[in-house]
Each structure stands twice: as C-alpha cells, then as structure tokens.
Amino acid sequence: MGYSVFSGIRRLHLVDLSSDDAVASSSSHTVTLTPGVGEIYEVLHVYVAIPAIAGSSGDHELECFQKFGSSDRSHWYMKNPGTSSMFVHRHILWATTTKSPPNEVSQVLLFTPRSLFCSQEYPLKFKYTNGTDTNQTGTRTIEVLVGVRSG
C-alpha cells in the first residue's frame, strides 16, 4: 500500500488568525493556533501577508514558535524593514533582512507532511513585533490550513 499524505487526517480546516488590531511602536501581538479538545493539528500550509508601515524607520518581524517546558522553540522567523511587506507564500519566507531557516529548501521542508503539529498542550504561536517608530495599523493576514487528527 502506498504512502498517503492524508493518512490519519479526519478533515481539513482553514484557520484564520488574521488581525487588524493596531500594534503600537516597539510592542508585539501574538495569535495562537489551538486545536479543539482531543484533536491534533498537522500544519499543511501557511499563508502570511504583513503590510509595510509607510514612513517608518526600524524593523518589524514575525516568529512562529511553540513552548516546550520552560522554553520557546522557534520553527521559523523573518524580519524586514518596516517600509517593506513580509509574506509566507508557497512555503517560502519572503523577507529581505533576516529569514530563519535562511535557504528555501529548508523553508519548504518545514511544511512537508508530518513536520509540524500542535495540540491543546502545545499550541502554535505567531508573534508579530513592531520594532519601528510608527504604529502598525494594517491587517496582518495569517491563514493556516491544517489536517485535523484525533488525539
């Protein structure tokens, strides 16, 4: 019997974590992907679009991480000047200043089947930090396609 990407997945679910809450200069905003009780999410695709902050100086950044024990484990991170937008599209981190992992092959591997899971105990978090001198008032789009598994 052949390998199936969808083996064990009960259904697909698109989770919209987008936010248009203003993020003040030198502050951050975190959104959390938390499955329902008894469910595990397998992350299949992530789409991110964060607009530039016109007329700003400084950087803005986005990190995807999970807390394990007392420490955070970063899955990926990107940073750009505030005057530039940031994207995650087709499994590639589109940022000019800093990307971790830095190369596209490693970035694509983050989203291969059975690479990234979250549960009620270990939710996935997306932290946007506005390190510019201007408030971020644009909508930060974060959409996550997950496969729902039984816990």
Q: Which of 48-52, 65-69, 116-120, 144-148 has the lowest mean pLDDT?
A: 65-69
The answer to whether the peptide bond before residue 51 is cis (omega within 30 degrees of 0) is no
Closest of 66, 78, 81, 94 to residue 136, by C-alpha: 81
* pLDDT for the residue 3: 45
| Partner residues linked to 11 by β-bridges | 148
Question: pTM of this prediction?
Answer: 0.89
Q: 94-108: per-residue pLDDT in tens?
A: 887 888 888 888 878
Identify the structural domains of the chain with CATH numbers, from first to last: 11-150 (2.60.120)
CA of 63: how far to CAs of 37, 73, 100, in Å? 25, 10, 9
Q: For strands 58-68 and 71-81, give the pairing.
A: antiparallel
Q: 96-147: per-residue pLDDT in tens?
A: 788 888 888 887 877 776 688 999 999 999 999 999 999 999 999 999 999 9
Q: Is the pLDDT of residue 16 over 80?
A: yes
Comparing 7 with 104, which gets the higher pLDDT? 104
Cα(43)–Cα(2) distance, integer angstroms: 21
- HSE toward the beta carbon, residue 52, CA cutoff 13 A: 11
